[in-house]
């Protein structure tokens, strides 16, 4: 579909909208992208391309990384990178160990990651987006 998080079971859009206290996700992809821009969020893959049979990140093979250092250089306003899931975290750390911007793991929004409730994911994402240190 040439869209980020097009799978309707993926919780990404619900999480992002909920972080900003919005209850309804825009049904149109262009509206979702506008929502990201309005909230000063960028969205990009760690990988430029990869092969994957099925939907599991564990099945990703022959990946080629995106030019994340080039992205950061082109957009100096980027101050933090959120890595959606462990595969993104491990791949980012492997390919870009010298990036000078804080990159942090956030719980995967994939429906395959069911260890956390939607509410717990929203809380974790909110904490990182707003850089909140929670004591509980």
Residues that are catalytic: 10
Distances in whole angstroms, Cα of residue 68 to Cα of each of 38, 91, 101 = 22, 12, 11
The residue with tokens 């509980």 is: 136
Burial class (CB in 10 A: 0-12, 13-18, 19+), 99: middle
């Amino acid at each position: 579909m040439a869209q980020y998080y097009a799978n309707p079971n993926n919780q990404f859009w619900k999480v992002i909208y909920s972080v900003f206290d919005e209850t309804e996700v825009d049904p149109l992809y262009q509206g979702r992208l506008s929502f990201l821009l309005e909230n000063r969020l960028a969205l990009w893959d760690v990988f430029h391309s990869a092969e994957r049979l099925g939907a599991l990140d564990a099945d990703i093979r022959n990946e080629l990384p995106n030019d994340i250092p080039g992205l950061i250089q082109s957009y100096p306003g980027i101050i933090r990178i959120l890595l959606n899931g462990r595969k993104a975290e491990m791949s980012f750390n492997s390919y870009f160990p010298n990036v000078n911007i804080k990159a942090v793991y956030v719980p995967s929004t994939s429906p395959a990651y069911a260890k956390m409730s939607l509410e717990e994911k929203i809380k974790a994402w909110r904490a990182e987006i707003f850089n909140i240190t929670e004591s509980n």
